[in-house]
Amino acid sequence: MIMNYIAKKIVPALFFLIIMTITAVAQGTLQEGIDAVDAENYQKALEILEPLAQQGDVDAQYYMGSLYQAGSAVKQSYEKALEWYQKAADQGDVYSHYIIATYYKDGSGVKKSWSQAFNHFKIAAEAGHKTSQYYMGFMYEKGYGVDQSYENAAIWYQKAADKGDSDAQAFLAELYQNGKGVEQNNVKAILLYLKAIAQDHEYARDQLSTLIDENSPAGQEKSKAFLMVAKVYSDGKVVEAINFWKNIAEKGDRDSQAMLGALYADGQGGLPQSYQESFRWYLNAAVQGNGLAQYGLGTIYGNGFGIEKNDALAKFWFQLASNNGIKQAKEALKQLE
């Protein structure tokens, strides 16, 4: 009797466990589904991921959304994609919130709604998603889906900029340039524009070029103070000349700053060779429109002298130098093409 009782209780349970195990093996694991997506074997991915998604697996639900979004192994449908992304978002999937926000922003599969986009971007942004943080800044700046606020725009742009988002860096720079939501500060604007330009951001290039042009003396004629010290230098009074140049460079003379940049780059005039010091002085002169300093910065970035090599920044500075009549810069640009 006892054995019969055990058999009645245990056998069905074992049978159910075996069936579930066989089913799990047949449908595959989540990782196998993801691997199939990565291998572009979308039919296999669909066969594995769909039952997992229907059982509530949040990652599988996200991937089902991506399959419908792209039309991979299924008929393309933003509406179906949104259904799966929403299921994943309801379980807290941050990236699904971001995707849903873009759907509402663009009107993909749903009626365009900045307020709905804002709600989903906010959830993702508060979880640390950098692109969502950028969009929060953008919506606050423009007043899309929320009351316009330059102050809040700057806060969110800063969060995304700190994570390396080039759009956020460019638009935060513009706020600093114009003193909107933050205290006006051209130095911060320039540094942020340069970070964005390092990622080949076209708008940042245009904005910084304009900023430099608008705040630079016309032409490339040397200042009288610089020329007076140059005469001292040519007379062999090197130490005195360099001290004079340092003094007027600290006061903002762009020609003296460019000269110090060149001297530090080559370790001339009794100065120690230092690309860091060269970069510092070149940058101060370059943002005031000095063509030679702009060429010097292009050379530093193009060769990675004392700094990480960056062709985008090299091209930017060479282009400005070329615009200012520096022939070597034109040749350097050709070599970078």
For residue 17, the model assigns a pLDDT of: 40
User: Within a domain: residue 328?
Assistant: yes
Mean pLDDT per 10-residue section of the chain, whose length is 337 residues: 46 42 58 95 96 96 96 96 97 98 96 97 98 98 98 98 98 98 97 97 97 88 90 92 94 95 94 96 96 97 96 97 95 91
Domain count, the chain: 2
> How far apart, in whole angstroms, are the C-alpha atoms of residue 182 and residue 152?
10
For residue 291, the model assigns a pLDDT of: 96
* Structure tokens that stand for 59 in this block: 């990652």
> How far apart, in whole angstroms, are the C-alpha atoms of residue 138 and residue 193?
17
User: Within a domain: residue 239?
Assistant: yes
Q: Which residue's structure tokens are 């063509």?
A: 291
Q: Which pTM does this prediction carry?
A: 0.85
Of 127, 160, 178, the residue at which a domain comes to its end is 127
- Find the CATH number of the domain harbouring 306: 1.25.40.10
User: Within a domain: residue 91?
Assistant: yes
Of 77, 101, 127, the residue at which a domain comes to its end is 127
Q: Which residues contact 245 (CB under 8 A, 6 or more apart)?
A: 226, 229, 233, 256, 259, 260
User: Within a domain: residue 160?
Assistant: no
CB 46 within 8 A of CB 70: no
Domain encompassing residue 36: 25-127
- 3-class DSSP state for residue 272? coil
Measuring CA to CA, how many Å separate 3 from each of 15, 17, 18, 210, 215?
Answer: 17, 20, 21, 90, 95
Helix axes of 2-27 and 42-54: crossing angle, nearest 10 degrees: 140
> How far apart, in whole angstroms, are the C-alpha atoms of residue 153 and residue 136?
7
For residue 27, the model assigns a pLDDT of: 59
Residue type, 32: E
Of 92, 127, 162, the residue at which a domain comes to its end is 127
CA-nearest of 178, 181, 206, 179 to 193 is 206
Measuring CA to CA, how many Å separate 290 from each of 75, 222, 259?
Answer: 58, 9, 10
CB 315 within 8 A of CB 334: no
Q: Which residue's structure tokens are 């720079």?
A: 173
Alpha-helical segments (H) within the chain: 2-27, 30-38, 42-54, 58-70, 78-90, 94-106, 114-126, 130-142, 150-162, 166-178, 186-197, 202-214, 224-234, 238-250, 254-266, 275-286, 291-303, 311-323, 327-336
For residue 217, the model assigns a pLDDT of: 84
For residue 1, the model assigns a pLDDT of: 45
* Structure tokens that stand for 119 in this block: 């709600």
User: Within a domain: residue 178?
Assistant: no
User: Within a domain: residue 194?
Assistant: no
- 3-class DSSP state for residue 39? coil
User: Within a domain: residue 56?
Assistant: yes
